[in-house]
Structure 1
Amino acid sequence: MNRPDRWRRAAIALLATFAFNSYAADTLPTIELSAQGTAIAANDLARADAYFEASANEPAAVARAVNQAIAAALAIAKPYTTVSVKTGSTSTWPIYSTPSSSGRNNQTITGWRMRSHLALESTDIAALSRLIGELQSTLAIGSLQLMPAPTTLRAANDAATREALKAFEARAQLVTETLGRKYRLKALSINEQGGPMPMFRGAAMAEMAVKAAPVEAGDSTVSVHVNGTIELID
């Protein structure tokens, strides 16, 4: 056998070995595992929506009333330096007359209604609660939401992720040691999920106004789910 033939045979054998190893690697037995980690995050951030609504016969009159109320609210909020106060959306819509008993569509515009919002936010929940108490003499509070601040939520997510990954690793070791095999990681996904956050609306906000009760922020539970696939190897 001449040298070129030997080289060709060696190359074919090498390719066959590579193809077999690739096929074997692709057909390794796999196991899907999941694990979860949780962490507690303090609800140290509060957001509230306050608004003023008025009606008048003329658009200019209703705008003047709303603007005066919002300006007064901003003046009340100014000393609260730890509370962020921003003007929100403003909407105006017509008020129509009641349809006649004959059923004819002869409604006319009899007035105008306008609503303007203020967005309140602070990590000083006690100060925000006091400000809401003052504003409720003229403004309505549409909602109050308590949640972890971004830095607090990030720290809780990191802690929950570490716990979930350690739990996944422990589960993988348990399974493979029981089977008398080793493993390598093939795929892994991490999903974060926050727990429900306290939200006060409508009647609950009215009750808070009457009682002037302090806000109990509480905590939120942050969950991280890890799903992955491991390959069993010798």
Structure 2
Amino acid sequence: MSRRQTWIRATMALLAIVALNARAADALPTVDLSAEGSVTAANDLARADAYFEASADDPATVARQVNRAIASALDVAKRVEGVSVKTTGTSTWPIYAKGSRTVSGWRMRSNLQLESTDIAALSRLIAELQSTLAIGNLQLMPAEQTLRAANDAAIREALQAFEARAKLVADALGRGHRLKAMSINTQGGPAPVFRGRMMAEMSAAAAPAPIEAGDSTIVVHVNGTIELID
């Protein structure tokens, strides 16, 4: 390498160091902040899982039993206005004789999912279906539109809280502020409310049970960085 090339490289390195130091000197102080907003949303959607399970000596027989029960349940459910119903899976497995690997029979289970914003109608349907089907659980939650509106309201509240906190910090330090970066974490869906005891009572009584849907709390978290300016 020639003496001139060495000098050029050294000069470029020096200029780079000077530029970095200048940027560091010009960099504004930053503060990381977080805030949250929360609102309540009505649990206006009910979703129930129902199933029929049977066993027989051969797969064909058990399939006829299960299919007949599910077809009957679908006919009943489709007549109820405002309630949607769909099959969510069917499983068949062998039953082994005790202490051996010999197949002694077959068991089959088929599942339905019932969903409605008319919770009273769904409760009546569940009571009617329980003459043949078992109910696994009942979930109560905000419907999609309700959840979206609640998330929007919680975002507004979280942003207002963040700005108030940023102003508080900046004012206390005698500085102005501006936003540098921000992330918003919304709640995709609240944890469903499981009414295990209520489902047991409905199963025993086989009659519509009163359902108090209640509310869910929707929380939005905001994290951000502000720059302090003169």
Q: Where on the TM-score scale, by shorter chain, does this alignment land: which range? A: 0.7 to 0.9
User: What amino acid maps onto 1:72 in structure 2?
Assistant: S
Distance 2:156 2:22 in 1: 35
SS of 2:186's equivalent?
A: strand
Aligned to 1:200: 195
Aligned to 1:221: 217
Contact 1:44 1:149 in 2 (8 A): yes
Deviation (angstroms), 1:96: 0.6
SS of 1:86's equivalent?
A: strand
* Aligned-residue RMSD, C-alpha: 2.0
Distance 2:185 2:217 in 1: 14
Give deviations 1:74-113, integer Å, cap 9, x for gaps. Answer: 12112212100111200000011011xxxxxx43111100
Give deviations 1:6-52, integer Å, cap 9, x for gaps. Answer: xxxxxxxxxxx987764444x31111111110011101111111000
SS of 1:68's equivalent?
A: helix
Distance 1:161 1:88 in 2: 34
Deviation (angstroms), 1:195: 4.5
Contact 1:32 1:227 in 2 (8 A): yes
TM-score by length of 2: 0.86
Distance 2:194 2:137 in 1: 7
SS of 1:225's equivalent?
A: strand
TM-score by length of 1: 0.84
Question: What aligned pairs does 1:6-155 form with structure 2 within 5 A after superposition?
Answer: 22-25=23-26, 27-99=27-99, 106-155=100-149
Aligned to 1:156: 150
Contact 2:78 2:84 in 1 (8 A): no
Distance 1:111 1:221 in 2: 48
Distance 1:19 1:59 in 2: 76
Deviation (angstroms), 1:192: 1.9
Unaligned runs of 5+ in 1: 1-16, 100-105
Does residue 184 (structure 1) correspond to residue 178 (structure 2)? The answer is yes
Distance 2:35 2:101 in 1: 63
Deviation (angstroms), 1:117: 0.6
Give deviations 1:147-181, integer Å, cap 9, x for gaps. Answer: 10111000000000000000100111111112110
Deviation (angstroms), 1:60: 0.5
Distance 1:80 1:206 in 2: 23
Contact 1:47 1:122 in 2 (8 A): yes
**How many positions carry a matched residue from both structures?**
212
SS of 1:98's equivalent?
A: coil
